[in-house]
Copies of this chain bind each other. A is one copy, B any other.
Amino acid sequence: MQYAFSNRIQNVKPSAIREILKLVAKNPSIISFSTGSPSNEAIPVEEIHEIAENIFATRAIESLQYSMTEGYPSLRETTKSRLKNTFGIGRDFDEVIITTGGQQGLEMTPKVLCNEGDIAIVESPSFVSGINAIKSNGAHLIGIEMDDEGIKLDKLTEVIENSDRVKLLYLIPSFQNPSGKTMSLARRKAVYDLCAKHHIIILEDNPYGELRFKGEDVPTIKSMDDAGIVVYNGSYSKIISAGMRIGFICAPQEIMQKLIIAKQVGDCHTNIFFQMVVDQFFRNYDIDKHIRKLCEIYRDRCDYMLDLMDKHFDKRVTYTRPEGGLFIWCSLPEGYDSMELAQISTKNGVAFVPGCSFMVDDQAPCASFRVNYSTPSKESIAKGIPLLAASIEEYLAKK
């Protein structure tokens, strides 16, 4: 049988990251800096267990029966008031729904906004599964480079002013995946004004925003959203548990009506038991204290890894010094290809993700690569960074 697939799905190629993860899975002795998982120690297992017991005791049937597409009403309320009180997010015209992890919002937003051939702009580099979610809905992607303040404004203005088919701008303004960069307040304002002027919807993805362990918070773009152009995509994966798949969206009602249709046909509703778990966590436990604990863990890991990089890495290699999130973005000198380095380092027993994986065109060579510090233990970091440094030496010497 010869199968014929849709153009939109043919748009999405299997990514290099998957191949590396498979290699790592096959060889458990490899030290992996390649995932984006929270630390195991960051998962509040005891609290979740207590809450689960309470649910089985008091509302077992409700937690296992069909539920509403928009989400568990109590969790929608908790999420809404937390967004309002902690982040100044949410106008009268906004609505909050619960999603099956942050990923679902990344898929549904281009689905409801973009026709095939419409243009969506992303930061370059950007989150692989965000890029692919947009591609899988047939939009044409344009990647725009970042400087230290975020996506480059002059280039963004140029692209927007030269096309009437730009529908969507996908941004991860805080502790961006993979670069670890945080967009400045001035840049956020300028980007928002530009999009408001041209009626372009911003998909603001903020899974790492609460994981700040240094410096000062920068207001979200959604908190400036008087015009109703921002779809804010959030997740409880990084602060409670990723395996439960609970996220949320805050967006203007008119967009939300379409997102609810997409959600209804997408998976009917999100696992209701864990919606209740998250809701009770917020109502009966000290979430701020819990997040402070996570930030301590990640600050410690990040500092530890940076110290080892400072000590062992060839001076020609540069890297970001993130103030939060899960990733460090390293760059080899120009002309080198991190995919070639990955082959050497995997052989030497340490894995990371080559930068090309995060590009709209993932076939072009890329000197940069992503390193994760949240998943590996300090022991693994202590063993892995010197191995990575040696692999870099080997590659730089060979080329």
**Which chain A residues have a beta carbon within 8 Å of chain B's beta carbons?**
1-9, 12, 14, 35-38, 40, 43, 45, 48-49, 52, 56, 60-67, 100-101, 103-104, 106-107, 111-116, 118, 129, 132-133, 136-137, 167, 199, 201, 227-229, 237, 241-245, 252, 254-255, 257-258, 261-262, 264-274
Cβ distance A81 to chain B, nearest Cβ, rounded Å: 23
Instruction: Note all chain B residues with C-beta closer than 8 A to A35.
Output: 66
Instruction: Note all chain B residues with C-beta closer than 8 A to A14.
Output: 257, 261
Given the complex of chains A and B, what is the CA–CA distance between A20 and B176 in angstroms?
A: 44
Given the complex of chains A and B, what is the CA–CA distance between A267 and B257 in angstroms?
A: 20
Cβ distance A70 to chain B, nearest Cβ, rounded Å: 11
* A129-B265 in contact given A6-B115, A272-B243, A273-B244 (Cβ < 8 Å): yes
* A103-B266 in contact given A271-B271, A274-B271 (Cβ < 8 Å): yes
Indicate how many identical chains form the complex: 2
Q: A241 contacts B64, CB within 8 Å?
A: yes
Instruction: Note all chain B residues with C-beta closer than 8 A to A237.
Output: 66
Cβ distance A285 to chain B, nearest Cβ, rounded Å: 15
Contacts beyond the supplied A5-B258, A6-B112, A52-B56: 11 A-B pairs with Cβ under 8 Å: A36-B66, A63-B243, A66-B242, A101-B268, A104-B266, A116-B116, A129-B268, A243-B273, A244-B271, A271-B274, A273-B274
Given the complex of chains A and B, what is the CA–CA distance between A228 and B273 in angstroms?
A: 37
Cβ distance A239 to chain B, nearest Cβ, rounded Å: 12
Q: B113 contacts A265, CB within 8 Å?
A: no
Given the complex of chains A and B, what is the CA–CA distance between A144 and B64 in angstroms?
A: 35
Q: A265 contacts B167, CB within 8 Å?
A: no
Given the complex of chains A and B, what is the CA–CA distance between A12 and B241 in angstroms?
A: 33
Q: A56 contacts B45, CB within 8 Å?
A: yes
A–B Cβ pairs within 8 angstroms, 29 of them = A2-B199, A3-B254, A5-B258, A6-B111, A6-B113, A6-B114, A12-B261, A43-B64, A43-B65, A45-B56, A63-B243, A64-B241, A65-B242, A65-B243, A66-B237, A100-B267, A100-B271, A101-B268, A103-B265, A103-B266, A103-B267, A107-B265, A107-B266, A116-B116, A129-B264, A136-B261, A243-B272, A244-B271, A271-B271
